Amino acid sequence: MEFRKIVIPYSSKTEWFNIIPIGDIHWGNAGCDVKYLKDLIKYVGDKENTFWIGMGDYCEFINYSDPRFDPKNVLSRYLTAGDIDKMVQLQIDDLVDMLMPIRDKCIGLLRGNHEEAVRKHYHYDVLYELAKDLDLSRDLLLYDIANVRLVFRRQVNGKKLPSHVYDVVCAHGNVGGRTYGYKANRISQLKQWFIADIYLLAHSHIKLAQTSNLIYFDYRGNQRKKKIIEAYTGCFLRGYEKSKTSYVEKWLYPPTDIGVVKIMLQPESGDKHVSL
């Protein structure tokens, strides 16, 4: 497990911040919603106080020797004679070009099962390569699961005021249940293992968000309430498309949920919200 502290300065009591988890892009798959991805990248780049965290499965990364390989699922540009041998590298190059405008807003990169399969079977760490090509600090490599501590620090006339902290426990995950109830229960289990403000999982290709409240008493005996956010972070891979095929159809998975969730934080008040 990784622990990372990200310090975010701000100046106004009324400022809000957005954290957008971006994962399950599956760039290189013929079903990847490229337009939605481009629109989201532009939104993150243009929107003030907006940051993103990579949730894994950035590209398809399925070589032709992989049992999962199916040429019908591959974007045609990677099937050109000679290029199929370097499909993984070409997918990294293309995705880096897409993400470069928002590289400075990245607060971490998790590793998904598609990245892990390449590392394990082909001895090539695509998460490392992605970070290197984006010129990101290696400290932003979150690997399988991480606690990302967001420290919002306000300054007035050069004086540092008390910080406001949110802990985000995030992982790509491997939740395989097909019902929403199973997935909701699975992410809630994280609260039994880790103390945090926000819990994020990917992999399931759905958007699902829920909040809950914990009652506690502070050191003076005052009753307090702590709001918790739990969310599955969506995807960019379309499953059931006319005149196309995919493993979503072959395995009769539920239709995928295109898009992302947005976490909204107001450090001064400690408030937090999630939207789908």
* Residue 103: per-residue pLDDT: 97
Separation between Cα atoms, residue 235 and residue 63, nearest integer Å = 21
**H or E element at residue 180:** helix 180-193
DSSP characters over 26-86: -BTBTTB-HHHHHHHHHHHHHSTTEEEEE-S--B----TTSTT--GGGB-GGG-STTTGGG
Q: Which of 152, 187, 151, 198 is nearest to 21 (CA)?
A: 198
Per-residue pLDDT, 240: 86
Q: Give the Cα separation of 10 and 153 in Å (integer).
A: 6
Distance CA 203, CA 199 (A): 14
Residue ranges, the chain, pLDDT below 70 = 81, 176-177
Cβ contacts of 184 within 8 Å, gap of 6 or more? 208, 210, 230
Closest Cα partner for 171 from 231, 261, 86?
231
SS3 117: helix
pLDDT at 81: 67
pLDDT confidence of residue 225: 92
**Beta pairing class for 50-54 and 17-22:** parallel
The pLDDT value given to residue 248: 84
